[in-house]
Amino acid sequence: MSSSFLTSAIKQFEYYKSLGDKTFNQLTFKELQKEFIEDSNSISIIVKHMVGNMLSRWTNFLTEDGEKEWRQRDAEFEDTYKSKEELITDWDKGWCCLFHALNELTATDLERIVYIRNQGHTVMEAINRQLSHYPYHVGQIVFLGKLIKGNQWQSLSIPKGNSKSYNEDKFSKEKGKRHFTDDL
């Protein structure tokens, strides 16, 4: 179970990163910065927060508290990106830090204790914590992208009205163990 958990967790994180990537591909830099109401978070701000969290949580994951002294969380909610390229570079840097940490883990590491703000978590619990946190924000990114693009939005899942044909395709294949993202 332990090695399958790590493999599955990595695939889940890859899937959510891809949803963000596909959203960014549909938007201009100005659209990434759009705030719908005062003090709401634009996609750009959500990205900045996620990157700050990822770098803090996954840098020296097994040996240091996940909330680093150098993290400036409040500053993550100020949009300072100068270009879409800078935003994407930062996004990729956060995910790279996460994937590097996860790829270094072994099944025996999953019961080790790591800390986030002095609260002990098993490695598995810490991974699960972030598997809840990042999809929450990616969902916000995708939803905002859909609101911004309106009718021009290209669906990232099964488009409305296509469930029947999607299911027919899935059920036409042999039963087998695979991750749902394998054929995306």
Q: Locate all alpha helices (DSSP H) within 105-162, ordered by sequence.
A: 123-149
Please provide the average confidence, as pLDDT, over all residues in the chain. Answer: 95
What's the predicted TM-score (pTM) here? 0.94
Q: Which among 67, 93, 90, 64 has a CA at the least distance from the CA of 79?
A: 90
Kindly tell me if the per-residue pLDDT of 1 is higher than 70. Answer: no
| Nearest by Cα to 78 from 39, 117, 116, 104 | 39
Distances in whole angstroms, Cα of residue 31 to Cα of each of 27, 36, 82, 108: 6, 11, 13, 44
CA atoms within 13 A on the CB side of 147: 12
Instruction: State the CATH number of the domain containing residue 157.
Output: 1.20.120.450
Both tokens assigned to 179: 């991750």
| In a domain? residue 182 | no
Residue 88 lies in a domain: yes
Q: Is 178 a domain residue?
A: no
Is 181 within the bounds of a domain? no
* Domains of the chain: total: 1
What three-state secondary structure class fits 183?
coil
Which tokens is 3 given? 């090695």
pLDDT digits (tens, 9 = 90+) for 21-75: 999 999 999 999 999 998 899 999 999 999 999 999 999 999 999 999 999 999 9
More confident call, 179 vs 17: 17
Q: Which domain holds residue 64?
A: 2-171
User: Which residue from 26, 19, 86 is spatially nearest to 51, judged by alpha carbons?
Assistant: 86
Token pair belonging to 47: 């990205």
Is it the case that residue 183 has pLDDT exceeding 80?
no
User: In the chain, what percentage of residues exceed pLDDT 90?
Assistant: 85
Which comes out higher in pLDDT, residue 161 or 46?
46
Give the span between the Cα atoms of 57 and 168, in whole angstroms: 41
- Rounded CA-CA distance 92/46 in Å is 14
For tokens 């100068």, what's the residue? 82
Q: What is the pLDDT of residue 135?
A: 98
Asked if residue 177 belongs to a domain, the reply is: no
The pLDDT score that the predictor gives to residue 177 is 84
